Structure 1
Amino acid sequence: MPTAVLAADPSHAALLADARLWRATSLGASASPCIASGFGALDAQLPGGGWPTRMLSEILQAQAGLCEWRLLGPALGRLLQQQAPQPQPMRRKPVTPAPAARPPLLLVNPPQQPHLPGLRAHGITPQQLVWVAPANALQALWATEQAIKANAAGAVLAWLPEARPAQIRRLQAAALGSAAPVFLFRPLAVQTQSSAAPLRLILSPGADWQLQLHILKRRGPAHAQALRLEALPAELAALLAPRQLRPATVIAPSIPAVPKELSHEPKPAPSAVLARPAARAASLQ
C-alpha cells in the first residue's frame, strides 16, 4: 500500500512515525550498538554509522592477508582500549593493583602469522591476542561458532574460505546473541553465493595508499559507487618523503605530430614493395 494512503489513515500515522520502521529507500538504523570504523566516508554508508554488533560482517578479497588490518585496525584498537576495565580507587591500605584485563582479540585461521609490531601500532597488545590455528575447515567453523557463543572476546575475526551458505547462516544465528563484532573473511569468488551476513563488502588495495570498498549488501539502498579510503599508517607517513605522499600522476607519452606535408603522401602498394627484392635480383642476373 502506498505511504500516502497509509498516512491518510489515522490508525497508521503512529506506525509511520515509529523510528523502528525502515523504508528500503533509506539507510537502515541499527538496533544494536555500532563501532566507528575510523573512516568517516565508510561510517556514512553503514547502517548505524559503523561496524555492527550482533551480526556478521563479511569481507571478500581476491587474496587474503592484504588489507584486513588496514581496514579494521583503527576500529579494533579503540574498541579494545575502551573495553578495558578502569582501575579501582586507592584504599586507605595500599594494595598492589592487578593488571587490567582486557577482552581478547580472537583470530581464527589467519592466513599469516600476526605481525605484533603492526598490531601494537593500532593499540593492540600481544596479551590481548588469541590466535587459533585449526587443523581443517570443520575445526575452523567450530572454533568460530564457539567463540561467538562465548561472547567473551572483544572482537572475532575468522578466515573461512570454504564455508558454505548453510554454515554462514548458522554463524549469523549465533552472532545475534553476541555483543562483539564478528568479521568473516572469504574469497572474492563467493560473491555470487547467497549469504546470511547482513553486511557484505569487497575489499581491495587502491592507488596512493588507499583502500577500495564495494558494498555488496547492507540494510539500505544499493550502493553502486566504490569507496576510496585513505589508509596510510601514521608511522609510515612519518618516514615517507613528501613527494611519495602526493597522489600519483600518470604521464602520457608524447607522440610527435605528423607534418602536414607528409600526412597525405602516397604510400607504395604492398605488392610493389614485395616486388622490389625480386626486381633487384633479376637485374643482377
Structure 2
Amino acid sequence: MSAATLAPERIHPALWRGTQLARGSRATIRTGHPQLTQELPDGGWPTGALTELLLARPGIGELRLLQPALAALPADGPIALVQPPCVPHIAAWSGAGLDPQRLWWIDPAREADALWATEQILKNGSCAALLCWLPHVRTTSLRRLHLAAQASSTLLFALRPARDASQASPAPLRLELRTVSGGLAINLLKRRGPVCAQPLFIALDTALVPRVLPTHAHSALDRRIPAQAGAGRPASALAT
C-alpha cells in the first residue's frame, strides 16, 4: 500500500488531516462527559502528554470535570497534586469515589521546586495522574514538562490562570474553563484537529459544591488537624 493511500496518523502519529481530529496518536483516559469526548482527539484525555486547563480562578469545578477520568485510572498508581492552592479535602475526594490513600500532596515552597518535582515524577513514571498548579511558568519550563510526559504514560494536567490563554504553549491540548449556570463552559483553544468554534457546556453535579478556603494551616493527608492548629482558624480545603 502506498503512502498516499495511508491515513496520515499511520505514517506518523504527529500527522493528521486538518479537517479531522487526530486518531491513534496515543492512549487516552475516558472523560466521562460525552459532549467533550467527541471533541477530543482519540476520544479522551491523552496520557503521555501535557494538557492545560486555564481557569479564571481555582475551584470553579475543574476537579469535578476531571473526577470521572481520575476514577477510571488503574488502581495501582498514585494521583499526585503538586502545588495545589489549598489543602485537599479528603471527605470530598472520598465522596467522589476516589481513594484518598492514592493522593500524593506535594506543596513546595517555590514554583521552581514544583516544576522540579513534577518533572521528576514524570521521569520516574510512578504516578497514574499528576495535576500541577502553575500560576507563573515560562514556555521553556512547559516544554520540559511536555517532553518528560511523552516518555511516560502519566495523565498530566497543568492548571494555569486564564490570563495565559494567549501565550504560546507546547501543550497539544488546551482548554479554557468558565463558570456558567449549572456547570462549565469550555473553550477548546488548541487540539490536534480543526478549530472548535463554539464553547461546550458541561453540566456538573450541583450537589458537590467546591469548598475552597484560604490556606492557613497545612496537615498531612492521613492526619487530623491538631486541635491547637484548628482552633480559631478554619482548615483550608480543596474539594472536588
Aligning the two structures, in what range does the TM-score lie when normalised by the shorter sequence?
0.7 to 0.9
Aligned equivalent of 1:14, options 5, 11, 14: 5
Specify the alignment match of 1:128 in structure 2: 102
Aligned pair 1:226/2:205, yes or no? no
Which structure is richer in relative contact order (CA contacts within 8 A, separation 6 or more)?
2
Distance 1:17 1:152, change over 3 A: closer
Q: How many aligned residue pairs are there? A: 206
Distance 1:74 1:215 in 2: 19
Is contact 2:134-2:158 (8 Å) kept?
A: yes
Distance 1:126 1:226 in 2: 33
Distance 1:233 1:103, change over 3 A: farther
Shift, 1:66, TM fit: 2.3
Is contact 2:52-2:175 (8 Å) kept?
A: yes
Consecutive unaligned residues in structure 1, runs of 5 or more: 1-9, 85-101, 237-285
Using the size of structure 2 for normalisation, the TM-score is 0.81
State the AA in 1 paired with 2:198.
Q
Distance 1:171 1:123 in 2: 29
Shift, 1:18, TM fit: 6.9
Distance 1:213 1:235, change over 3 A: closer
Distance 2:114 2:9 in 1: 41
Distance 1:140 1:17 in 2: 37
Name the larger-Rg structure: 1
1:42-92 per-position Cα deviation (integer Å, ceiling 9, x unaligned): 00000000000110110000112322211101110121xxx23xxxxxxxx
* Regions of 4+ moved over 2 Å: 10-21, 233-236
Is contact 1:30-1:52 (8 Å) kept?
A: no
Structure holding more helix per residue: 1
Consecutive unaligned residues in structure 2, runs of 5 or more: 210-240
Specify the alignment match of 1:157 in structure 2: 131
Distance 1:16 1:142, change over 3 A: closer
Shift, 1:17, TM fit: 7.9
Distance 2:60 2:108 in 1: 21
Specify the alignment match of 1:63 in structure 2: 57
Specify the alignment match of 2:184 in structure 1: 211
Aligned pair 1:76/2:50, yes or no? no
State the AA in 2 paired with 1:47.
P
Instruction: Give SS of 1:212's match.
Output: strand
Provide the identity percentage: 43
State the AA in 1 paired with 2:56.
A
Structure holding more strand per residue: 2
Aligned equivalent of 1:114, options 68, 88, 101: 88
CA RMSD, aligned part only? 1.8
Distance 1:191 1:235, change over 3 A: closer
Aligned equivalent of 2:167, options 187, 193, 201: 193
Distance 2:8 2:121 in 1: 39
